A and B are shown apart, each in its own frame.
Chain A
Amino acid sequence: EAGVVQSPRYKIIEKKQPVAFWCNPISGHNTLYWYLQNLGQGPELLIRYENEEAVDDSQLPKDRFSAERLKGVDSTLKIQPAELGDSAVYLCASSLGGAKETQYFGPGTRLLVL
C-alpha cells in the first residue's frame, strides 16, 4: 500500500515569492492534516480536513496561508508571500477518520526561504 505522498521534497525560494506544496493521502483516508515543523520542535497542526471540509483551521495564518482539498482527495497548501520565518518542514498526514484515527505521515517538504 502506498503511503502519503508529498511533493516537492525540497524547495528554496526568495522571500515574498509564492510557494505551493502538494499532498496525496492514503487511498480511502477521509481525514487529511497539514502540520508545520520548526527545527527542534514537534509538528504543529495548521489545518485538518474531513473529506473536502476544513474542520479545524484555527492555527492557519490566513493572511498568507491557504489550503484546499478539492474532491476530498489531494490537497494543496500555499504560502503567498513567503517570509523568512516560514522556513520549516511542512508535513501532510492522513487517517481513516472516526475511531480509526492513527495518523500516517508523509516525508514532508523542507522549505527554505532566503
Chain B
Amino acid sequence: DAKTTQPPSMDCAEGRAANLPCNHSTISGNEYVYWYRQIHSQGPQYIIHGLKNNETNEMASLIITEDRKSSTLILPHATLRDTAVYYCIASLRGYSTLTFGKGTMLLVSP
C-alpha cells in the first residue's frame, strides 16, 4: 500500500464543512483511496472510497486531484457526532488488506 500523510488533528465548528486532507504522492495507478473513521471506543467505520473520479455518498464527498497525489474528504455539515479519528488509506481493491496510519483527529465543537 502507498504511504499516506494526514495532519494529526483538525478543528471544525458544528454546522460547517470539514475538509480533511490526505497526501498519497506515491499512489499507484490501481490503488484506491479509502476513508474510514473511528469514534472513541468503537471500531473503525467505512466512509467512502474512490479511484479517480470524485465520489459522494450519504456520509461524505471525496475529492481526488487529477494527478491522484492527494485527496480531500468533505463532511458538508459537521455535527458533534462526527468527532472521530479519520483514516485515509491507499490500497489495492479486492483481497488486499488495509494499512492504517495514525489518522487525523477531527474535533467538532459547538
Contact = CB atoms under 8 A, between A and B. Distances in A.
- Most chain A beta-carbon contacts within 10 A, residue among B96, B97, B99, B100: B97
A45 B95 CA distance: 13
Contacts of A27: none
Interface string B56-74: 0000000000000000000
A41 B41 CA distance: 13
A99 B44 contact: no
A106 B43 contact: yes
B95 A43 contact: no
A31 B93 CA distance: 14
B43 A45 contact: no
B51 to A, nearest CB: 13
Interface residues of B, number: 21
A6 B87 CA distance: 22
A50 B103 CA distance: 27
| Chain A contact patch, size range | 20 to 34
A33 interface: yes
B54 interface: no
Given A4-B43, A42-B103, A93-B43, A103 B98 contact: yes
Interface of B: 36, 41-46, 49, 85, 87, 93-103
Interface of A: 4, 31, 33, 40-45, 48, 50, 55-56, 91, 93, 97-99, 101-108
Given A105-B44, A107-B43, 16 more contacts: A42-B85, A42-B101, A42-B102, A43-B44, A43-B100, A48-B97, A50-B95, A91-B44, A93-B44, A98-B95, A99-B94, A101-B94, A101-B96, A103-B36, A107-B42, A108-B43
